[in-house]
């Protein structure tokens, strides 16, 4: 009974076989068919390898949603060097709600404004990357995927102690502000807060010492991520006018980054720069200094790293192999048909009449029209 059931199952499977079976004796091989087969197999192998590299690669997916977090604080990371002594310059933040954020988280460090050759090389490299990122926006995705492998973006320290006089002030640190629009001031005098507003004590600073040439080594919002380059990193502005005002208008976009290496909540931002000379007589009013005006966006961007699933890779691989096999077969048949038509038209190749065939035709003509053995005037018996 088991053998009968196995035979029935085997016969049922054979009846379901839909693939045609062609005997080897019915298959005719040719040099052209072998050449096309080699080309097809080479193309299959090459495209399969390239498809495997595509399968291993990842891409960044961007999703947008409304930012519903209004209660949390926004962290601002600052590292700016101003070409003035620390006792003559002060920094503070005033937000849209007229709330003054004290600069307790900021440190004032006397430094030398001029960079060493190694530091200047670092800055030039950073500016070159910035220019390439403005032209090729896809480089940002490369930074997202390789951020932990990236070099640190902080200005390298000086190799040796310098004997030059200290002529600048490095303002660095971080402060937490409300998630509303605000203004970071770096101007003459230390900031003070009073009920009527806020001010800077600049009366004891000589106007001749004003010099707001500055270098932004780092400015970011939110959590600091190693390897990420922000739009203002490496920016340097030099002025020879004591009444120069520098303004940076920044739009901050909350960003949630989810990759295979890191998951963090940070912020991207775009910036517009403006600078002008304060001249009250010409109608250009204002205060000399550096002003970073920022505003937060109501949208949040989620950047997640995506990978091609295995089933999609297998489907694409089957499509490559089947497509090349079918296409090369049709092209080979089409070229063979055209070649046969041309050869038949001009009697070339296999369609060219052979000499033995001509000799055979001549012998047939002789047999069909043979001459008599006796002449017509031969005497009859």
* Distance set, CA 360 to CA 17, 84, 349, 357, 370 (Å): 50, 112, 20, 5, 15
At 202, the pLDDT band (50, 70, 90 cuts) reads: confident
For range 86-115, the mean pLDDT: 81
Predicted pLDDT of residue 379: 52
Is the pLDDT score of 30 beyond 80? no
* Between 130 and 145, the higher pLDDT residue: 130
- In the three-class reduction of DSSP (H, G, I as helix; E, B as strand; rest coil), residue 346 is classed as helix
Question: At which residue do the structure tokens 């009859």 appear?
Answer: 380
Is the pLDDT score of 291 beyond 90? yes
- In the three-class reduction of DSSP (H, G, I as helix; E, B as strand; rest coil), residue 341 is classed as helix
Q: Where are the beta strands (DSSP E) in the chain?
A: 58-66, 73-82, 89-95, 100-101, 106-111, 168-178, 182-188, 190-194, 197-201, 214-221, 235-237, 244-258, 263-277, 289-296, 299-307
Q: Can you give the C-alpha Rg of the chain in angstroms?
A: 42
Closest to 154 in 3D by CA, of 61, 77, 70, 218: 218
Predicted pLDDT of residue 381: 46
CA 312 – CA 29 distance, rounded (Å)? 36
- In the three-class reduction of DSSP (H, G, I as helix; E, B as strand; rest coil), residue 43 is classed as helix
Predicted pLDDT of residue 337: 77
Sign of CA dihedral 20, 21, 27, 29: positive
* Distance set, CA 220 to CA 80, 99, 341 (Å): 11, 21, 73
Is the pLDDT score of 161 beyond 80? no
User: Which tens digit of pLDDT belongs to each residue from 206-227?
Assistant: 878 888 999 999 999 988 877 6
Predicted pLDDT of residue 138: 62
Q: What is the mean pLDDT of the chain?
A: 79
Q: Cβ atoms within 10 A of the Cβ of 105, count?
A: 15
For residue 313, give every residue at least 6 positions away whose Cβ sits within 8 Å of its Cβ, in sequence order, or none: 51, 52, 55
CA 320 – CA 316 distance, rounded (Å)? 6
Percent of the chain with pLDDT over 90: 14
Give the CA-trace dihedral at 175, 93, 120, 271, to 10 degrees: 110
At 170, the pLDDT band (50, 70, 90 cuts) reads: very high
For range 9-34, the mean pLDDT: 70
Comparing 103-107, 172-176, 201-205, the range with the smallest average pLDDT is: 201-205
CA 223 – CA 265 distance, rounded (Å)? 6
Give φ, ψ of 73 to 5 degrees: -95, 155
Find the length of the chain: 381
| Token pair for 161 | 């102690």
CA 160 – CA 157 distance, rounded (Å)? 9
* Distance linking the first and last C-alpha atoms of the chain: 94
User: Which tens digit of pLDDT belongs to each residue from 71-81?
Assistant: 888 899 999 99
Is the pLDDT score of 146 beyond 70? no
For range 12-39, the mean pLDDT: 72
pTM (global) more than 0.85:
no
Is the pLDDT score of 187 beyond 60? yes
Whether residue 176 contacts residue 75, with contact meaning beta carbons closer than 8 Å, is answered with: yes
Sign of CA dihedral 28, 32, 38, 41: negative
For residue 321, give every residue at least 6 positions away whose Cβ sits within 8 Å of its Cβ, in sequence order, or none: 44, 48
Is the pLDDT score of 251 beyond 90? yes
CA 32 – CA 332 distance, rounded (Å)? 8
For range 349-354, the mean pLDDT: 56
Predicted pLDDT of residue 354: 57
* Between 306 and 159, the higher pLDDT residue: 306
* Between 163 and 42, the higher pLDDT residue: 42
User: What are the CB-based long-range contacts (under 8 Å, 24+) for 306-309?
Assistant: 306/58, 306/59, 306/60, 306/61, 307/58, 308/54, 308/55, 308/57
Predicted pLDDT of residue 78: 92
CA 177 – CA 252 distance, rounded (Å)? 13
């Amino acid at each position: 009974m088991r053998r009968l059931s196995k035979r029935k199952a085997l016969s049922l499977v054979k009846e379901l076989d839909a693939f045609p079976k062609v005997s080897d004796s019915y298959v005719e091989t040719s040099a052209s068919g072998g050449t096309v087969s080699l080309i097809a197999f080479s193309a299959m192998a090459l495209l399969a390898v390239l498809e495997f590299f595509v399968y291993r690669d990842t891409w960044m997916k961007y999703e947008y949603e409304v930012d519903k977090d209004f209660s949390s604080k926004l962290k601002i990371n600052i590292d700016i060097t101003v070409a003035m002594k620390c006792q003559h310059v002060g920094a503070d933040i005033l937000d849209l709600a007229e709330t003054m954020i004290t600069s307790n988280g900021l440190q004032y460090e006397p430094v030398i404004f001029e960079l060493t050759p190694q530091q200047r090389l670092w800055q030039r490299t950073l500016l070159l990357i910035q220019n390439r990122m403005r032209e090729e926006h896809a480089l940002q995705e490369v930074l997202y995927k390789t951020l932990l492998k990236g070099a640190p973006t902080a200005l390298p320290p000086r190799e040796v102690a310098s004997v030059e006089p200290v002529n600048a002030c490095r303002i660095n640190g971080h402060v937490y502000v409300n998630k509303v629009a605000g203004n970071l001031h770096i101007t003459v005098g230390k900031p003070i807060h009073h009920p009527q507003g806020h001010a800077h004590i600049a009366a004891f600073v000589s106007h001749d010492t004003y010099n707001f040439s500055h270098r932004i080594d780092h400015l970011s919002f939110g959590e600091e991520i190693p390897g990420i380059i922000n739009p203002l990193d490496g920016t340097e502005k030099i002025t020879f006018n004591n009444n120069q005002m520098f303004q940076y208008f920044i739009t901050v976009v909350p960003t949630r980054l989810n990759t295979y290496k890191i998951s963090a909540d940070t912020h991207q931002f775009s910036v517009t720069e403006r600078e002008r000379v304060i001249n009250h007589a010409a109608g250009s009013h204002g205060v000399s200094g550096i002003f970073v005006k920022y505003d937060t966006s109501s949208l949040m961007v989620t950047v997640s790293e995506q990978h091609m699933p295995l089933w999609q890779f297998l489907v694409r691989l089957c499509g490559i192999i089947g497509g090349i096999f079918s296409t090369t077969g049709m092209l080979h048949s089409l070229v063979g048909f055209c070649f046969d038509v041309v050869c038949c038209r001009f009697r070339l190749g296999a369609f060219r009449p052979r000499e033995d065939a001509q000799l055979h035709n001549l012998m047939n003509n002789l047999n069909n029209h043979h001459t008599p053995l006796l002449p017509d005037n031969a005497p009859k018996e």
